Amino acid sequence: MNKLLFKKLIAQTSDNPISLEISHANGVFLHTTDGKKFLDFISGIAVSSLGHNHPKVIEALHEQIDKHLHVMVYGEFVQKPQIEFAELLLRQLPSKLEQIYLVNSGTEANEGALKLAKKYTERSKFVAFNNSYHGDTHGSLSVTGRDVYRDPYLPLLPDIHFGDFNSLEALKLIDDKTAAVIMEPIQGEGGIIPAKKEWLEAIQEKCSEVGALLIYDEIQSGFGRTGNLFAFQYYDVTPDILCIAKAMGGGMPIGGFISSKEIFQAFKYNPPLNHVTTFGGHPVSCAAAHANLKEILGGDYLQRAEHIEAKVKEKLNGKGIVEVRGIGAMLGLELVSKELTEKVVTKCFEEGILLGWTLHSNTLIRLAPPLIISDQELDHVLDTILSAIKLFVD
């Protein structure tokens, strides 16, 4: 009955949603109402990096709920959960990333960053990259480099120019009319494609030369998934604006974009309050984010991400596998065909393992396990994947 009501009452975005009816979740497992359990190897799409219902996050939620929920729109009242989270987070970042604007999601973070870049530079041109993904709202979609998703909604924002990821030719697009370059340091939905360090350095240098801002979308790659708190720290190339969300709240909805005080001044004048949000920085989400970040920083999760990468890349090889690529626990397994990929994902699902495809590649399986996964659980998943590939290839 609930599945029928789900399809009747909840707007659908595909003809074949997974439709698992969840009763509860904990650790790396999702439990369904019919008594089955699934090992979540995609972390709710890079959200549940500490697993589901982490006790430290749940404790923080209960503590804040007993105090207050929403009290005022963003930025007007002093709220302790916002300050505690921001203080801890910003201490981990380079000095020019010194203030955060809190929102509700990743696409909102990117929207805010685009507006901030336009307001600060007084320019309107953006440079983005083919096969990128930045969200589905109009501004974020405008800088997403995939025509199949853009075309149904044209016209979008004007003056958006796309270059090839990791190509030096893209530098020619960046000029003194450019407000900002927006990019993922590791393309997620585009196929788990890491940037080359020397290319990121060249992009940063060109932006500095022409007065354009550099925006990093780290919505998928943030909060420990790459073996660093953020991927830009792996590359040692710092953006002017950093966009974050997904794993930020330990399962609660929250996002943000981070920049300098100087750049954020642009939101205060002509007119005042020219970028606002009602629920951004919700105190319950901020309390969860603070607990989540404390746990990440206090544990061995960054080393765990590196361990996961080494184990996956060592074990997943052989017939049917093109490559395993990515950094830390943000990995992609590319297989030889769409048909094999679909069969492997389906077989693993039947065995109680939840894998996922990316939006842009039908031969790539997303591997984004919770960082709390044990070696035994990790080995079980990798063995099941290999068995499924062997079943359909041999």
> Domain of 113: which CATH number?
3.40.640.10
Do 375 and 247 share a domain, yes or no?
Answer: no
Tell me the CATH number at 382: 3.90.1150.10
Q: Does residue 101 share a domain with residue 16? A: no
Residues 286 and 253 in one domain: yes
Same structural domain, 304 and 287: no
Judge if 41 and 101 occupy the same domain.
no
Residues 66 and 211 in one domain: yes
Residue-level pLDDT at 55: 98
Q: What is the pLDDT along the chain (394 residues), one digit of tens a residue?
A: 688 899 889 899 888 888 899 999 999 999 999 999 999 999 999 999 999 999 999 999 999 999 999 999 999 999 999 999 999 999 999 999 999 999 999 999 999 999 999 999 999 999 999 999 999 999 999 999 999 999 999 999 999 999 999 999 999 999 999 999 999 999 999 999 999 999 999 999 999 999 999 999 999 999 999 999 999 999 999 999 999 999 999 999 999 999 999 999 999 999 999 999 999 999 999 999 999 999 999 999 999 999 999 999 999 999 999 999 999 999 999 999 999 999 999 999 999 999 987 666 789 999 999 999 999 999 999 999 999 999 999 7
SS3 track for the chain = CHHHHHHHHCCCCCCCCCCCCEEEEEECEEEECCCCEEEECCHHHHCCCCCECCHHHHHHHHHHHCCCCCCCCCCCCCCHHHHHHHHHHHCCCCCCCCEEEEECCHHHHHHHHHHHHHHHHCCCEEEEEECCCCCCCHHHHHCCECHHHHHHHCCCCCCEEEECCCCHHHHHHCCCCEEEEEECCEECCCCCEECCHHHHHHHHHHHHHHCCEEEEECCCCCCCCCCCCCHHHHHCCCCCEEEECHHHHCCCCCEEEEECHHHHHHHCCCCCCCCCCCCCCCHHHHHHHHHHHHHHHHCCHHHHHHHHHHHHHHHCCCCCEEEEEEECCEEEEEECCHHHHHHHHHHHHHCCEECEECCCCCCEEEECCCCCCCHHHHHHHHHHHHHHHHHHHC
Q: Do 271 and 383 share a domain, yes or no?
A: no
286 and 310 within one domain = no
Domain C-terminal end among 298, 325, 351: 298
| Residue range of the domain that includes 149 | 56-298
Total domains in the chain come to 2
**pTM of the prediction?**
0.97
Same-domain check for residues 43 and 97: no
108 and 223 belong to one structural domain = yes
Out of 265, 298, 331, pick the residue that ends a domain.
Answer: 298
Same domain, 113 and 151: yes
